Amino acid sequence: MRDYKGETFFDTTKEWTNFSEICKGCGLCIEKCPQKCLSFDTKRTNHYGTSTVRCDIGKCIACGICEIHCPDQAIRVDKK
């Protein structure tokens, strides 16, 4: 199995990781986030050429809704 490297946003209580090699940039995670802490990162693109997703970790409550709804399993949310 291939190991994917993700971009991780973190603070003392949680980590949010996006695996841009898997993410197709559909935006479903952004739409479903109850805290509205996810957005498209205009500075980074994935291998499809679409924007990757970034997290404002200060607003994130680590509920995992984005991880559950991601059709590509490109998001991991961990509470510390």
What 3-state class would DSSP assign to 69?
helix
Q: What is the pLDDT of residues 5-15, one digit of tens each?
A: 899 999 999 99
Residue 18's pLDDT is 95
Q: What is the pLDDT of residues 6-48, one digit of tens each?
A: 999 999 999 999 998 899 999 999 999 999 999 999 888 887 8
Judge whether residue 1 has pLDDT over 70. no
Position 69 in a domain: yes
Position 27 in a domain: yes
Residue 44's pLDDT is 83
Range of the domain at 61: 18-79
Residues in the chain: 80
Here the CATH number for the domain that contains residue 62 is 3.30.70.3270
Report how many domains make up the chain: 1
What is the reported pTM?
A: 0.89
Place of tokens 């946003």: 9
Widest distance between CA atoms in the chain:
33
